[in-house]
Amino acid sequence: MASSGSVRRALVVVGKVSKGQVLNANAKLGSNWLSALDIAEQTAQADYPNITGMEIAGALAHQSHQVQSHSNVLSVKFFEGEDRVISGHVHMNGRVDYSRERLRSGQKERWKPTRDQVDQNSWTVYDPEKKKHRKVFQEQGWLYIEIGGVKVWF
């Protein structure tokens, strides 16, 4: 009897780092990181149904070089065929914090604010694409706005 639910397909792990290396590199917490990667994989497939592959940037959980508040994360990239769709940090609980989507050919670069554009009286910045002010948030010295539920750090 066929199930009415969809069958989840495993993503192909590409690149130099395997899930086995993640297991070994993170000692006692290796199995937790494998579970986190599985949850992140499911989340990414739900958010980006066309992805087919995942690249783990390094086997050892680490402090993010770009986002100071992201400590103890694995960096991953998700692909559709050979094209990178989105990158992000996977936390031990399986949560994925995505970076910006990669632009496809023909797409224009999205606007991203700079620190000197922030109105420090109202903690807003003007978005010229949407012609509106966006609230600026601060987290451990880093600033970000939210666009479509995605944090855009600057």
pLDDT by residue (tens digit) across 43-83? 999 988 889 999 999 999 988 777 767 778 999 999 988 88
- Say whether pLDDT at 153 is over 60: yes
- C-alpha distances (whole Å) from 78 to each of 40, 90, 108 are 10, 12, 21
Residue whose pair of structure tokens reads 């592959």 in the numeric block: 53
pTM for the structure as a whole: 0.62
> Which helix H or strand E contains 44, and what residues bound it?
helix 30-47
* Structure confidence at residue 131 (pLDDT): 85
Q: Name residue, tokens 């130099």.
A: 16
In contact, 10 and 42? CB cutoff 8 Å: no
Distance CA 67, CA 81 (A): 28
Q: According to the model, what pLDDT value does residue 3 have?
A: 45
Q: How many secondary structure helices (H) and strands (E) does the chain include? A: 2, 10
Residue 53, amino acid = G
Paired strand residues for 135 = 124
At position 33, the amino acid (one-letter code) is W
Half-sphere exposure of 69 (CA within 13 A, CB side): 10
Could you read off the pLDDT of 73-120 as tens digits, one per residue? 999 999 988 888 899 999 999 999 888 665 454 445 567 888 888 999
Instruction: Find the largest Cα–Cα distance for the chain.
Output: 62
Closest-CA residue to 56 (of 90, 94, 32, 8): 90
